[in-house]
């Protein structure tokens, strides 16, 4: 059984490498520095008096596919639909002269992806906003967190502009999907390779 499993994995790895779009991770424009720790990625950008970090984790970042029903009509030689990784991401804005960090929790609404033709709508939304003490590893549940569901739209627009001024806009969000998808695929291939060595190990 293990031999067949290892053989299957070998073929699978070959296939995945064939469709891998990026041999190295795509860059995000606008002078963002990328740090990757396993499945967590962090983009850092410094502008006058501020440091902006965007953190995301590729785990569970691929939305469940809605194409379950169309599987039967699929012709055998058709390519599988491309998987896209749309992770939630957290933007932290740290001002040099304050002890506080503004934290904005953003996500890609599932129904927005790939809908064009409407007026310029944002491809990501801000879900929550809070202040956290700068440099604390653990965020406190006792800090007030603003949920944007019930937010005055004018304030929400200002928050979106605030992010856009710092380089977090639709272009950035598109590039983040691209980066995250490449990273997810890279990790998936690595996982298959580890699994193969594990299975073959006597």
Q: CA–CA separation, 78 vs 58, rounded Å?
A: 27
Backbone φ, ψ for residue 28 (5° rounding): -105, 125
Q: CA–CA separation, 140 vs 144, rounded Å?
A: 9
Adjacent-strand bridge partners of 146: 129
- State pTM to two decimals: 0.85
Q: CA–CA separation, 85 vs 173, rounded Å?
A: 12
Q: CA–CA separation, 104 vs 170, rounded Å?
A: 16
User: Domains, the chain, ranges and CATH?
Assistant: 28-59+83-110+119-192 (3.10.280.10)
pLDDT in tens, the chain (202 residues): 889 999 999 999 999 999 988 888 999 999 999 999 999 999 999 998 999 999 999 999 988 765 444 444 444 445 556 789 999 999 999 998 888 899 999 999 976 554 444 445 889 999 999 998 887 666 677 788 999 998 899 999 999 999 999 999 999 999 999 999 999 999 999 999 999 999 987 6
- Cβ neighbours, 10 Å, residue 78: 8
End-to-end CA distance of the chain: 13
Q: CA–CA separation, 160 vs 187, rounded Å?
A: 31
For tokens 């995000």, name the residue.
28
Contact residues for 25 (Cβ-Cβ < 8 A; gap 6+): 34, 36, 179, 182, 183, 186
| Predicted pLDDT at 133 | 83
């Amino acid at each position: 059984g293990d031999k067949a499993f290892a053989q299957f994995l070998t073929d699978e790895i070959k296939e995945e490498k064939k469709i891998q779009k990026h041999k190295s991770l795509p860059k995000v424009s606008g002078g963002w520095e990328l740090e990757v720790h396993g499945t967590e990625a962090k983009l850092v950008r410094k502008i006058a008096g501020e440091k902006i970090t965007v953190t995301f984790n590729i785990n569970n970042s691929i939305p469940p596919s809605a194409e379950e029903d169309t599987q039967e009509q699929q012709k055998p030689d058709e390519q599988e639909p491309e998987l896209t990784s749309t992770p939630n991401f957290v933007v932290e804005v740290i001002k040099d002269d304050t002890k506080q960090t503004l934290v904005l929790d953003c996500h890609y609404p599932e129904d927005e992806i790939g809908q064009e033709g409407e007026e310029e709508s944002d491809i990501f939304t801000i879900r929550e906003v809070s202040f956290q003490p700068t440099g604390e590893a653990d965020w406190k549940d006792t800090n007030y967190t603003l949920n944007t569901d019930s937010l005055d739209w004018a304030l929400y627009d200002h928050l979106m502009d605030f992010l856009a001024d710092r380089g977090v806009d639709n272009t950035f969000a598109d590039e983040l999907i691209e980066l995250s998808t490449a990273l997810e695929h890279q990790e998936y291939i690595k996982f298959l390779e580890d699994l193969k060595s594990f299975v073959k190990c006597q």
